[in-house]
Amino acid sequence: MGSTQVAGGTAVETTPEPKYWQLRTVLVRALDTEFSAGEVLPNERDLSARFGVARATLRQALDQLELEGRLVRRRGIGTLVAAPRMGVPMVEATDNHFGAGRDSWRIVDADYAAAPAAVAAALGVAADEPVHVVRRLRMMRGQAIGAETLYVPDAVVPQPPGSYIKHSLAESSRARSVLRQLQRLEPDGESRAVELGVAEDEAARLLERPPGIPVLVVTARYRAQGRVAVVGVSTYRADTCRLTFGESGMVEVAPVAAPAPAEVRAAS
């Protein structure tokens, strides 16, 4: 049964923390003071004995810390302390965000199809009007950390003769063509909305993680010639990434600290 506190003359019923969450707090303290990144933790039996908890409670706490990106489980090795989150710069389009052929991006495929309703509305096109759709992965240290989808209307990149052929080489060539044309775009402003979400099936597959893991969803709108010219929707792994904005990286978005959307606007 929870305790009752009085705040401003109003009785507030508080709920006691679950035992696994109390243990999680203790484990965080231990990870910060006793272990280094990459170090293997003692086995579950030893940890249970040390902290005086049941194995089931310990597993819940370890599962939570793995979800937060503090621990990594490796088959045949055990549970390791995860490396610090990678700082991922959110560069502006003027800094060659649309760059084609860069090592940090890997093209997945390209299509010519209707955009989601919210994206179509932002682009100012009809809900059933096809647009260029380019999907690619953002790579760091050889690992896929983010999956991005760019939506580009014909008004920005005219549709060339011929249809999109569902063939990996044709899709890659088409995607590079769209990206090369975007490189010539001169954006006059952009805005980004960042919110916490969960990975749907396709994004989870691309990021090689199970569906439902926490992710950071970044929706970017790039303006040119007085209109939204491109919309990009990116999904970043919240367990390994820390998004930074601006040259100094002063604004950082961490998954636990971002329960509500946060708007980040670049000066136009």
| Contacting residues for 207 by C-beta, under 8 A, at least 6 apart | 144, 145, 146, 147, 199, 215, 235, 237
% of the chain residues with pLDDT over 70: 75
Quick check: helix, strand or coil at residue 203? helix
Q: From CA 159, how far away is CA 131, in angstroms rounded?
A: 9
Does residue 69 or residue 76 have the better pLDDT? 76
pLDDT for 170 equals: 72
Average pLDDT over residues 160-179: 69
pLDDT for 250 equals: 40
CA 257 to chain centre: 14
Given a cut of 80, whether residue 223 has pLDDT beyond it is: yes
For 190-194, 195-199, 244-248, which range has the lowest pLDDT when averaged over its residues?
A: 244-248
Given a cut of 60, whether residue 242 has pLDDT beyond it is: yes
Given a cut of 60, whether residue 249 has pLDDT beyond it is: no
pLDDT for 267 equals: 36
pLDDT for 253 equals: 40
Given a cut of 70, whether residue 229 has pLDDT beyond it is: yes
**Do 152 and 140 meet the contact criterion of CB atoms below 8 Å apart?**
no
pLDDT for 165 equals: 55
From first CA to last CA, the distance across the chain in angstroms is: 54
pLDDT for 96 equals: 53
Closest CA to 102 of 139, 63, 70: 139
pLDDT for 64 equals: 86
pLDDT for 237 equals: 86
Q: Which long-range contacts (CB under 8 A, 24 or more apart) does 101-107 make?
A: 101/176, 103/139, 104/138, 104/139, 104/140, 105/136, 105/137, 105/138, 105/139, 106/136, 106/137, 106/139, 106/144, 107/134, 107/135, 107/136, 107/171, 107/172, 107/175, 107/176
pLDDT band at 173 (very low <50, low <70, confident <90, very high): confident
